[in-house]
Homo-oligomer: A and B are copies of this chain.
Amino acid sequence: MSTPPAEQTTSGKRRQRLGEDERREQIVRAAIDVVAEEGFAAASVTRIAKRAGISKGLVFHYFADKGDVMEQTLKATAVTIREAVAADLDLTAPVTEVIRAAIRRAAALSSTHSKELNALNQITQNLRTPDGAPRLDLTAYEDTYQAQEALFRRGQDEGSLRHFDTRVMAITYQGAIDMMLAYFEAHPNTDLDRYADALADILLVGMAKHPEKVENPEIPKPGR
């Protein structure tokens, strides 16, 4: 999943023949790279094709138009990220532990999926229908929100979490994670592990019924 910095991802062969799926992946990969590195506006088809090491025409062979490329890229990236977060996350563990672990995982994404995250955000916010309406608003987060709400409700049912509006909490929770990642992007010197723990503390104190049980004991608070 890592990407070499070079223009041509694949070996220098000409007229390389690939299966449909490999090609699509290759193009999506290039789209992510270009969007992440140069911005949505600079992600022209020409640029993407060059990055993928293929011709411009071929892109249109596999995608209806540029919007299609972006949409597919978005979808694929969302799946990738979701899987990365969900991987080896024991959802049957106590809810507070699940939450803390999930925040840590999300923080870890910064190093493993930085480009994907960046591209995902940019495409989400910029992709529009021809008439100017956003093609994807936060509706796209719906699945995520529902999964988180389910988790929160389990916690509430089990008695480990307080009573609160699960939808508002899901949005806040997701926002807190997104901001953490964005903040790290802008301030790469930040100690992400500590940030993640501090964030977990804040959120869990806000959610948990017995906050004292969930506070992270390992990392001493800065003020003391």
CB contact list, A1-44 vs B, under 8 A: 37-42
Q: Which residues of B contact A195 (CB under 8 A)?
A: 165, 168
- A154 lies within 8 A of chain B by Cβ: no
Contact at B202–A169, with CB atoms within 8 Å? yes
Verify B162–A172 contact, CB threshold 8 A: no
Q: Please, which residues of chain B bring their CB within 8 A of the CB of A222?
A: 165
Are B221 and A164 within 8 A (Cβ)? yes
- Alpha-carbon separation in the docked complex, A96 to B221 (Å): 21
Minimum CB–CB distance for A190 against chain B, Å: 9
User: Once the chains bind, are A137 and B185 in contact (CB under 8 Å)?
Assistant: yes
Shortest CB distance A222–B (Å)? 6
Query: Is A183 a contact of B138 with CB atoms below 8 Å?
Result: yes
A97 at the interface (CB under 8 A from B): no
Instruction: Evaluate contact between B206 and A205: CB separation under 8 angstroms.
Output: yes
Distance in angstroms between the alpha carbons of A153 and B221 in the assembled complex: 13
A153-174 contact mask (Cβ, 8 Å, vs B): 1 or 0: 1001000001111101101101
Which of B126, B171, B187, B205 has a CB less than 8 Å from the CB of A41? B126
A178 touches which of B175, B201, B203 (Cβ 8 Å): B175
Q: Which residues of A contact B (CB under 8 A)?
A: 37-42, 121-122, 125-126, 128, 132, 134, 137-139, 153, 156, 162-166, 168-169, 171-172, 174-176, 178-180, 182-183, 185-187, 195, 198-199, 201-203, 205-207, 221-224
